[in-house]
Structure 1
Amino acid sequence: MDYYEIFEFAAAYAIDVPPDLDSVERSPSTIFDLDEPMPGVLVGRFGAHAVTREFAQELRGYRFTGFRFGNASARVSEYSDRGDISIPELELLIVYGTPMVDDFSVNEWGDLVVSQRVFDVLVTRDQFVLEGSSKIGSR
């Protein structure tokens, strides 16, 4: 199976980044400050990733491995000069998968890595991901 490093919409800053996977916190939460309107269904930066609530519901219909959902919200960044940003409802992606094994994992830089199966679903809903992501290998 092929795997892809995902280039997600990064004009957002994660505030209150989720705890380590070993944390006992059961419902981690992250706030994303948006500088620009989200062009698709995925947002992330510096190891924190979220998807729109609608896309999260779609992901629940698959048997993808290596992740679970947590709480996330978005707000317009105080540094944004855009007045046209709508605030999406988000769900946090808590990614714990093993690289090149599970459908979701992160690399050493905190970038999201997904299987071909996830990539095929994701790119039908997020053109931004399709244009910037790269294939990193096969297993």
Structure 2
Amino acid sequence: MTGISSTRISLRDGDWPDPPASPESAPFVAAAREGRFLLRRCTACGKAHWYPRSLCPFCLGETAWEEASGNGTIYSYTVLAREDPARTIAYVTLAEGPTMLTSLVECDPRALAIGQPVRLVFARSRDGTPVPCFRPVEADEAPGSEPPS
């Protein structure tokens, strides 16, 4: 998928913390720097999973990278209102099946709902590493369409 937007989000400490670098996550980070979102899918049982790892968590089979749509729905969320600024974290079920823990950004927490469609945006950590977050899909965005630039 191309056209996934990037965003800069102010957190209490000024920026997102840097994710730990590892050889296993390098393809994910490289793709994210190009605006693409990758998942791993098992070559034996066919199930996609998050977080990416080389062995399938369901059957221990080998896995391969695949490009994901960046679309999902809110499974559950909470607002960390005591933080300054407040932050919203959520479980988002991806269109490909896995559910991931993430942050919801560019939204009014009072307008969120379970089952609401969301789309991936990349925030940037202190060192510029893309961090996958999600924002609500606007009413005028057709499902499967590219996000506005």
TM tier, shorter chain? Answer: under 0.3
More helix by share: 1
TM-score, scaled relative to structure 1? 0.26
TM-score, scaled relative to structure 2? 0.25
Greater RCO (CA < 8 Å, at least 6 residues apart)? 1
When Rg is computed on C-alpha atoms for both structures, the one with the higher figure is 2
